[in-house]
Amino acid sequence: MENSDKERDEKLVELAKVQGDFEAQVLKGMLESEGIEVAVGTGVTPNILPFTVDGLGQVKLFVKESDLEAAKAVMRENEERKRDGEPQEFEGSEDPENPDDTGACN
């Protein structure tokens, strides 16, 4: 019980600012797939202002302080893949030539 209280009370730190909710949700999913919990925060509802004006449409990603270095490493790896033009790998796809084939049994 004591350990879960410490985890719950652990300080959240800002990991990144991104442009819009879509990018935030993609990055959140990527980090969570690595076992890193992510909180998303914005000061403006995207439906009211769906673009960035002096940071008003930015979305912030927060992680536990103890996960910060691991989260930064995942983000760096993702940026390197994008920069190098490497295709993104998605779990479940059996055939990279056929993206509709998820490998799931129907």
Query: 2-21: per-residue pLDDT in tens?
Result: 566 666 678 999 999 998 88
Instruction: Write the DSSP symbol of residue 66.
Output: G
- Does residue 14 sit within a domain? yes
- Does residue 51 sit within a domain? yes
- Is the pTM higher than 0.75? The answer reads no
- Does residue 20 sit within a domain? yes
Q: Worst-scoring range by mean pLDDT, 28-37, 60-69, 88-97?
A: 88-97
State how many domains the chain has.
1
Helix runs in 33-67, H state only: none
- Does residue 25 sit within a domain? yes
Q: Worst-scoring range by mean pLDDT, 32-46, 55-69, 86-100?
A: 86-100
- CATH code at position 12: 3.30.70
Please say if the pLDDT value at position 92 is more than 80.
no
- Does residue 100 sit within a domain? no
- Does residue 101 sit within a domain? no
- Does residue 76 sit within a domain? yes
Q: What is the model's pLDDT at position 27?
A: 94
Instruction: Work out the angle between the directed axes of helices 21-32 and 68-84 (0-180°, nearest 10).
Output: 110
